[in-house]
Amino acid sequence: MQYQLIENTQLTETVWRMKLAGDTSAIKAPGQFVQLTVPGFYLRRPISICDWDEETITLVYKVVGQGTEAMSAMKIGMELDVLNGLGNGFDTSRCGDKPLLIGGGVGLPPMIGLCRQLIAEGKQPTVLAGFNKASEVFLQDAVEAMGAAFVLATMDGSAGVKGLVTDAMADLDFTDICACGPLPMLKAIMNATDKPAQLSFEERMGCGFGACMGCTVKVKGGYKRICKDGPILDREEVIW
Amino acid sequence: MKDLSVVLSGVKLDNPIIPASGTYGFGQEFLPFYDINILGSLSFKGTTAESRFGNPTPRIAECPNGMLNSVGLQNPGVDHVIAHELPELRKVFHKPIVANISGFSIDEYVSCVEKLTKEDQVEILEVNISCPNVHGGGMAFGTSPEAAASVTRAVKQVATKPVYIKLSPNVTDIVSIAKACEEAGADGLSLINTLLGMRIDLNRRKPILANVMGGYSGPGIFPVAVRMVYQVTGAVKIPVIGMGGISTARDVIEMMMAGAKAVQVGAANLVNPYACKEIIEQLPIEMEKLGIERLSDITRI
């Protein structure tokens, strides 16, 4: 499906926000992702959906390699080939009244669409974001604009609570967790609480829609394709 | 009206486009994109006697003009395929099916062929002796003419449908292996499987793939595939299904001019889920430009 690039803005030294205009009807849940064709590269780039409305998709991505570098150089008006609404997404019906949404670094973006949806369902989400330092912080404004509580943790203490997201978690009152971020962060969160949790995982992908078996991981009772059966797994099925 | 039909060992296909094994699952993942009954046939995910998880991740690495995979024959096992995947596929797909079979011993190949040859709608048995991603089997049978011939002879004993042996390009002389398969009774050949490759993550100074090496597929291998199909079809009389990097209708015609009777489309399905549909729609247009009325009229140059 074709989309038009209508925004590509640098948010921090390495993080950019891209907005695409086009048909968003394929998006069924927050936490899903898109597969974006980057001219000059063979494989598509899987990028989590930060937020969406009826006509636009917002992607917030980190420049980590040549493909995302090329994305950051894309000009407004460019037509992009995008596979949309991939993966299972978070199941908000399984969230309690006060879900805690934890995003580590570039794991934060899908929490925006999730937060918006939970508020629309009458729930009271808190977003907890972890970064290394104050200059890396992004999307705080997006959370606060929705009226949701925003708690920040930085490793060097230059903004918010000093330490890890698990240090900031201790004082928070929540019913359950939705989290996206580096594997060590997800593990630390699981060690810190027994509450229900939906966790978003990352793998190198081939197709992104379940055909190639490139991103299969073992889970309790079998295996799952992160792209099709994930990227959200329940904590109870994860083999750490 | 252009005639796209081709015949493989007596099996008539409406067109020569067959999604390659391992890039199309059992068809289900492509249902959201188009009606898969437009395909000539479909080669399903490589099936072994027992279920296999495959290799650890990362299993995918990007390359210029292609990709490496080291999936390692992840599949639920032949009995599960017969009990679950094939019945589900038959509900949505009404064309001939190519059953792709892998093994780690001659007995395993025989037992899988014995089971799948009895299945309705399975019209061709594609015996993969060329998977580069598993140890102690797969490609080991595809790298010597004697071993390739012994697998072929053994499966032919039990097969009631045409047997196509899928060959590896990771050999010194693919023609000698092709001829050995023909002499051992193969009804046809499929070539090429992926080229063994490797990528290194510069920052980590480690291989990108957990399994270190993997199979290279995509447009980058197309010239190698055309060359090998041309060499093999110059030396054998049995039909060849050509594959390796095919991404466009023009690639299909080029592969048929190299001597292939039908083609498989692999990696292209993964980066563009509409690839086979677009190729099938474009074929009559390219045929018109080239003055070709019937695809089956194309002969090896």
And the tokens for A142?
């997006």
Number of domains in chain B: 1
A70 contacts in chain B (CB < 8 Å): none
Residue of A nearest to B219 (CA): A42
Cβ–Cβ contact B266 with A under 8 A:
no
**Inter-residue contact B148 to B134 (CB < 8 Å):** no
Residue matched to tokens 């080029």: B254
Listed by start position, the domains of chain A span 2-86, 92-197, 201-240
The verdict on a CB contact (< 8 Å) between B58 and A204 is: yes
Tell how strand B122-128 and strand B97-101 pair up: parallel
DSSP state of B173: -
Distance CA B108, CA A186 (A): 41
pLDDT in tens, B149-171: 999 999 999 999 999 999 999 99
- Number of DSSP helices (H) and strands (E) in chain B, helices first: 9, 16
The verdict on a CB contact (< 8 Å) between B29 and A209 is: yes
Cβ-in-10-Å burial (0-12, 13-18, 19+) of B218 comes to buried
What CATH number does the domain located at A201-240 have?
A: 2.10.240.10
Angle, nearest 10°, between helix axes B145-158 and B174-183? 30
And the tokens for B246?
């095919």
DSSP element (H, E) containing A194: none
Residue matched to tokens 């939705």: A178
Whether residue A231 is preceded by a cis peptide bond, meaning omega within 30 degrees of 0, is yes
DSSP element (H, E) containing B230: helix B222-233
Give the percent of chain B with pLDDT over 90. 95
The residues of chain A scoring below 70 in pLDDT are none
pLDDT at residue B1, rounded to an integer: 86
Whether residue B58 is preceded by a cis peptide bond, meaning omega within 30 degrees of 0, is yes
Nearest of A75, A18, A22 to residue A48 by alpha carbon: A18
pLDDT at residue B141, rounded to an integer: 87
Is 70 exceeded by the pLDDT of residue B135? no
- Average pLDDT value over all residues in chain B: 96
Is 80 exceeded by the pLDDT of residue B132? no
pLDDT at residue A171, rounded to an integer: 87
In a domain, B27, yes or no: yes
Is 90 exceeded by the pLDDT of residue B138? no
Cβ–Cβ contact A102 with B under 8 A:
no
Alpha-carbon B84 to chain mean position: 22
Backbone angles phi, psi at B254, to 5 degrees: -60, -45
Does the pTM surpass 0.90? The reply is yes
A214 closest CB neighbour out of B32, B69, B219:
B69
Q: Which fold has domain A92-197?
A: Rossmann fold (3.40.50)
Residue A222 β-bridge partners: A219
pLDDT at residue B254, rounded to an integer: 98
Buried b (16+ CB within 10 A) or exposed e, B107-117: ebbbbbbebbb
Residue matched to tokens 């203490």: A157
In a domain, B179, yes or no: yes
Is 90 exceeded by the pLDDT of residue B130? no
Residue matched to tokens 């390692």: B72
A43 contacts in chain B (CB < 8 Å): 60, 62, 67, 270-271
Nearest of B263, B256, B253 to residue B13 by alpha carbon: B263
Nearest of B183, B296, B268, B178 to residue B231 by alpha carbon: B178
Cβ–Cβ contact A209 with B under 8 A:
yes
Whether residue B192 is preceded by a cis peptide bond, meaning omega within 30 degrees of 0, is yes
**Inter-residue contact B29 to A211 (CB < 8 Å):** yes
In a domain, B150, yes or no: yes
**Residue B131 confidence class, pLDDT cut points 50, 70, 90:** confident
Cβ–Cβ contact B204 with A under 8 A:
no
pLDDT in tens, B241-257: 999 999 999 999 999 99
The verdict on a CB contact (< 8 Å) between A42 and B271 is: yes
What CATH number does the domain located at A2-86 have?
A: 2.40.30.10
Alpha helix positions (H), chain A:
66-72, 110-120, 140-145, 165-169, 183-192
Buried b (16+ CB within 10 A) or exposed e, B130-162: bbbbbeebbbbbbbebebbbbbbebbbebbebb
- DSSP assignment of B252-299, as one string? HHHHHHTT-SEEEE-HHHHH-TTHHHHHHHHHHHHHHHHT-SBGGG--
pLDDT in tens, B75-118: 999 999 999 999 999 999 999 999 999 999 999 999 999 999 99
Residue matched to tokens 């998977």: B131
Residue B189 β-bridge partners: B165, B240
CA-derived radius of gyration, chain A:
17
Is 70 exceeded by the pLDDT of residue B299? yes
Q: Which domain holds residue B104?
A: 6-53+73-195+217-297
Determine the length of chain A: 240
B62 closest CB neighbour out of A43, A223, A228:
A43
Complex ipTM over 0.90: yes
Tell me if A92-197 shares its fold with A201-240.
no
**Inter-residue contact A180 to A32 (CB < 8 Å):** no
Residue B272's alpha-carbon distances to A203, B33, B275, in angstroms, are 19, 10, 5
Chains A, B: CB contacts under 8 A, how many? 84
**Residue B139 confidence class, pLDDT cut points 50, 70, 90:** low
CATH number, domain with residue B15? 3.20.20.70
In a domain, B58, yes or no: no
Distance CA A99, CA A122 (A): 11
The verdict on a CB contact (< 8 Å) between B74 and A214 is: no
Distance CA A44, CA B82 (A): 33
Distance CA B132, CA B203 (A): 26
- The number of beta carbons lying within 10 Å of the beta carbon of residue B217 is 31
Any idea of the CA torsion for A154, A157, A158, A159, to the nearest 10 degrees? 60
The verdict on a CB contact (< 8 Å) between A212 and B74 is: no
Cβ-in-10-Å burial (0-12, 13-18, 19+) of B34 comes to middle
Distance CA B224, CA B206 (A): 28
